[in-house]
Amino acid sequence: MSWSLPSPGELRERAGDVLLHRVAGPSAHEKRARIHGAPGPRWFGPERPVRVVHADASMYVGGLAALLLQSLHPLAMAAVAAHSGFQGDPWGRLQRTSTFLAVTTFGVDEDAARAVERVRRVHAGISGTTSDGVPYRASDPHLLGWVHCAETECFLRAQLRYGRRPLDAAAQDGYVADMAEVARRLGVDRPPCTRAELTARIVAYRSELRATPESRATARFLLSDPPLPAPARLPYAFLAAAAVELLPPWARALVGPPRATRLLLPVARPGGRAITAAVRWAIPPPPRPGAAEAARAPSHG
């Protein structure tokens, strides 16, 4: 019996399948075909900045940074720790989040509206009290606003640092405005619509943010103990360092990354570039948009 090494194309296909199945679930290819290929109007046209950002491999760095930044709000962290099951089923949570972003960014408007309604129903059933006795509701517009601002800031920061074609100033404002469209539908009150407004809104939240035992545990889990096979640990360590380095210095200090991640911070940017390049190599381009995409629901200024 003769053995032959897989070709570069076969290696690429295998790596892409593994990554897609981790991020989007076992039906990843079917989801992609539906989201990108179904005919019909979309919330965002092909020219919108949100499509540029959310189609880029930099989202892998931005997504991890967003989770770390979001965890610094004690009420948001309490809700996640008590109700999301992110440590018991981290891949399931990642797959649900990535599918929501893909559907609302690229999917037909009916699917996007259904995805938003599902999230709103879940939020409506989540409430509780922090370890300090402070009540919270996941549907609280102010709390939703923090989660929205944190992810918008981190996705945008990652695109500017690691994106294939970093957005110019006008497109950055356009991205924040695009994200605000979805945020309003989720229940966020007056989401920021420009980069300057986003920066000011995050500053306004600063007094509410702090490190907690829950946020520290989240950082340890995400940065030191992710449920990954041994061969993926080293690449992930560089991804984790890139995500931490992406955060503003004040947030990085509150996150308190573990020593192994801190040691990699001096090489976080070249490591982040290598990781995003590897993801671009492995993940195949999405299917062509549906033929009837020309008609779109909302208009953008």
DSSP, residue by residue, 108-162: BHHHHHHHHHHHHHHHHT-EEE-TTS-EEETT-HHHHHHHHHHHHHHHHHHHHHH
Does the pLDDT at position 151 exceed 90? yes
Q: With 80 as the cut, is the pLDDT of residue 6 above it?
A: no
- CA count, 13 A, side-chain hemisphere, 79: 22
pLDDT of residue 17: 56
Rounded CA Rg of the chain: 19
Residue 34 in this model has a pLDDT that exceeds 70 = yes
> What pairs with residue 129 in β-bridges?
135
pLDDT band for position 52 (cuts 50, 70, 90) = very high
What is the rounded CA–CA span in Å between residue 170 and residue 221?
37
Q: pTM for the full model?
A: 0.88
Write out the H or E segment, with its range, that includes residue 68. helix 59-70
Tokens matching residue 201? 């809104």
Which stretch, 28-37, 85-94, 146-155, 209-218, has highest mean pLDDT? 146-155
Interatomic CA distance for residues 208 and 132, integer angstroms: 14
Q: How far apart are CA 186 and CA 179, in angstroms?
A: 11
What is the distance between the alpha carbons of residues 2 and 267, in angstroms, rounded to a whole number? 42
Low-confidence winner among 39-43, 126-130, 134-138, 295-299 (lowest mean pLDDT)? 295-299
Average pLDDT of the residues in 159-163? 98
The answer on pLDDT for 191 being more than 70 is yes
Select, from the ranges 127-131, 201-205, 287-291, the one with the highest average predicted confidence (pLDDT).
Answer: 201-205
Q: Which of 31-40, 74-83, 105-114, 250-259 has the lowest mean pLDDT?
A: 74-83
Tell me the pLDDT band of 96, cut-offs 50, 70 and 90. Answer: confident
Domain range summary for the chain, segments of one domain joined by +: 8-282
Residue 66: the pLDDT is 94
Number of H helices, E strands in the chain: 15, 2
Residue 109, CA distances (Å) to 39, 106, 221, 288, 299 in order: 10, 9, 36, 17, 13
